[in-house]
Structure 1
Amino acid sequence: MLKIYRSYWGDYPANSEKIKQYGCFVMPNMGKKIITVSNANQGFATLKGSVKKLGADYAGASLCLFKKSTRELLWEIKPKKDGSYQFRNLANNMPCFIVAFDDQIKFNAVIQDMVIPK
């Protein structure tokens, strides 16, 4: 018998009734989530922040996170509608920098240097 495990970590609550209709079991919250660490850039640290345009929350951006020592691209994400963002699964205390690009190309890219995941 083949069993497939799927996990959902979205930004909105999953529809339990619809999941049950597909014949799936909804597991209770077990506390800490499991994160697989496969290389030295990954771990249990996070970086959180918000994108603002002229002082107001702004979701129309692309954010790229780079490892400072090697300039290696680690993640590329979009902020939530309220402008907040979070990079997860990062090595603790690894110096990084973030480059934010305006998707509408009305503003130049901005950089935040020496951000340290905790």
Structure 2
Amino acid sequence: MALKIIRSIPKHGMRIITPMNTNQGFGKISGTIKKLGSNYSPVPVCLFRRDNRQLLWETTSKADGSYLFRNIAVGLECFIVAFDPNNQYNAVIQDRVIVK
């Protein structure tokens, strides 16, 4: 998913940008994955809409354990699921995350 440029004004270097669907916008969610108190990576992280459980984005945490989801509709209620790639631990869920 991406934002759509609907009009470009070359002389001024400006662009008018609009979301392509109701899940998209200018909000973001960020966080850090930890395992036993230490940063942990790479970890698959998925972002879902809470009301219909639709998968919106999937990413992998960076070397420092951080992750970022962008271009999400502000105010959307979501949940995040992170999976241990080594299958030593169950998935962890962060619920009722409001996009800001």
Give me the TM-score of the superposition, normalised by structure 2.
Answer: 0.81
CA contact (8 A) 2:29 2:99 kept: yes
Instruction: Say if 2:54 is the partner of 1:54.
Output: no
How do residues 2-41 of structure 1 correspond to structure 2 at under 5 angstroms?
36-41=18-23
5+ residue gaps in structure 1?
A: 1-29
Q: State the identity as a percent.
A: 54
CA contact (8 A) 2:42 2:62 kept: no
1:23-60: per-residue Cα shift (whole Å, max 9, x none)? Answer: xxxxxxx8xx9865100000000001100000000013
Q: Determine the structure 1 residue equivalent to 2:83.
A: 101
Find runs of 4+ consecutive structure 1 residues off by over 2 angstroms. Answer: 33-36
Cα distance between partner residues in 2 of 1:77 and 1:91:
17
Which has more radius of gyration? Answer: 1
Tell which has more relative contact order, 1 or 2 (C-alpha 8 A, sep 6+): 2
Give me the TM-score of the superposition, normalised by structure 1.
Answer: 0.69
5+ residue gaps in structure 2?
A: 1-12
Distance change >3 Å, CA 34–CA 90, structure 1 → 2: farther
The structure in which a higher percent of residues are helix is 1
Tell me how many residue pairs correspond in the alignment: 87
CA contact (8 A) 1:63 1:78 kept: yes
The structure in which a higher percent of residues are strand is 2
Q: How much does 1:103 deviate?
A: 0.7
Letter in 1 for 2:42: G
Q: Determine the structure 2 residue equivalent to 1:90.
A: 72
Q: Determine the structure 2 residue equivalent to 1:64.
A: 46
Distance change >3 Å, CA 34–CA 54, structure 1 → 2: farther
CA contact (8 A) 1:35 1:44 kept: no
